[in-house]
């Protein structure tokens, strides 16, 4: 009994740590100490994936082919889906999100080039016949654990 009591605090600490990590969603992206939590809202169905694209603070790379730092993908959940992504360090970033309903890992467009899938951007800027202004999507991530919400728009 004496040996049991000696190890009881350590065993309880391990159990508490295991429960805490089980509650936090796994993060996508290259490992780093900085986590960004993105709540994607307005998802029409549980089909496919939610893709969260992370961009550095460089307007020339925003939405450019191979311009992103990383694309994290998680299963879609109708209504809302929470996504945790690693970011390299605290700083300014931009996010583009889309509902890849057919899970083909591409943002689909119609025959005339209009969006065919739900999409959204950091800070939820108004978008009309074009892309949002760079300054409207810049998002500060001052520390790990920062939360943001993005509402999807569907065509």
Q: Where are the beta strands (DSSP E) in the chain?
A: 27-28, 34-43, 49-56, 70-75, 79-87, 91-100, 119-121, 139-141, 146-151
pLDDT at 6: 54
Asked, for residue 59, whether it belongs to a domain, the answer is yes
- Structural domain that includes position 107: 25-151
Please give the distance of CA 148 from its chain centroid, rounded to a whole number: 9
Asked, for residue 9, whether it belongs to a domain, the answer is no
pTM attached to this predicted model:
0.82
Q: Report the half-sphere exposure of 147 (CA within 13 A, side-chain side).
A: 5
pLDDT at 14: 47
Asked, for residue 123, whether it belongs to a domain, the answer is yes
Asked, for residue 46, whether it belongs to a domain, the answer is yes
pLDDT at 26: 84
Domain count, the chain: 1
Asked, for residue 15, whether it belongs to a domain, the answer is no
pLDDT at 17: 45
pLDDT in tens, the chain (155 residues): 555 445 545 544 444 444 444 455 689 999 999 999 999 999 999 999 999 999 999 999 999 999 999 999 999 999 999 999 999 999 999 999 999 999 999 999 999 888 899 999 999 998 877 789 999 999 999 999 999 999 999 98
pLDDT at 127: 82
Domain CATH for 32: 2.60.40
pLDDT at 95: 98
d(CA 118, CA 152): 6
């Amino acid at each position: 009994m004496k040996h049991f009591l000696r190890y009881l605090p350590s065993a309880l600490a391990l159990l508490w740590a295991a429960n805490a990590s089980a509650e936090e969603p796994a993060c996508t992206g290259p490992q780093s100490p900085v986590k960004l939590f993105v709540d994607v809202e307005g998802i029409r169905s549980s089909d496919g994936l939610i893709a969260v694209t992370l961009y550095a603070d460089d307007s020339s790379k925003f939405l450019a082919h191979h311009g992103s730092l990383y694309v994290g993908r998680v299963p879609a959940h109708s209504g809302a889906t929470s996504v945790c992504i690693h970011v390299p360090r605290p700083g300014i970033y931009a996010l583009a999100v889309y509902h890849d309903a057919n899970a083909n890992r591409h943002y689909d467009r119609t025959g005339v080039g209009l969006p065919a899938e739900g999409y959204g951007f950091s800070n939820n800027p108004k978008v009309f016949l074009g892309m949002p202004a760079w300054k409207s999507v810049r998002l500060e991530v001052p520390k790990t654990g920062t939360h943001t919400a993005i509402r999807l728009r569907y065509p």
